[in-house]
Amino acid sequence: EIQLVESGGALIQPGGSLRLSCVASGFIFSNYEMNWVRQAPGKGLECVSYIDRDSRIKYYADSVKGRFTISRDNAENSLYLQMNSLTAEDTAIYYCVREDGEPAAKDVWGQGTTVTVSS
């Protein structure tokens, strides 16, 4: 079964740091580009970060640039998001998402992990 399982979400104080993890199974992880997509409470979907198969190309939303770092370990079938200097605006469910390779085809989503930034 193709699966993405996120972990690492927590309640954290403003200014704090958190590292999200996503473990992939059921497919050849190294063959796929990956993303983090978030959804704030009651809001829409926002692409946070993207990484290509070889970790050579990385993109970030302007709202997180300089604070978040995406990485992957293909040997461990894992995707990561290091989040620093967190603010209340970062409060959201964070989804690990696979790119199928076809246009606009984010075809596999994890169940999400919740990050709450509050004092």
Residue nearer to other proteins on the CB measure, 75 or 104: 104
Under the binding rule (CB under 8 A), the answer on residue 66 touching other proteins is no
Residue nearer to other proteins on the CB measure, 28 or 41: 41
> Could you give the string, one character per residue 10-49, with x where binding to other proteins holds by CB under 8 A and - elsewhere?
-------------------------x-x------xxxx--
- With beta carbons less than 8 A apart as the criterion, state whether 61 and 45 touch: no
Q: Which stretch binds other proteins (CB under 8 A): 14-22, 55-63, 69-77, 78-86?
A: 55-63
Distance CA 81, CA 72 (A): 9
Strands (E), 32-112: 34-39, 45-51, 58-60, 68-73, 78-83, 92-99, 106-109
User: 3-class DSSP state for residue 94?
Assistant: strand
Distance CA 16, CA 19 (A): 11
User: Among 2, 105, 114, 118, which residue sits at the site for other proteins (rule: CB under 8 A)?
Assistant: 105
Q: How far is the CB of 46 from other proteins (least distance, A)?
A: 7
User: 3-class DSSP state for residue 113?
Assistant: strand
User: Among 2, 89, 100, 114, which residue sits at the site for other proteins (rule: CB under 8 A)?
Assistant: 100
Amino acid letter, 113 = T
Q: How far is the CB of 14 from other proteins (least distance, A)?
A: 26
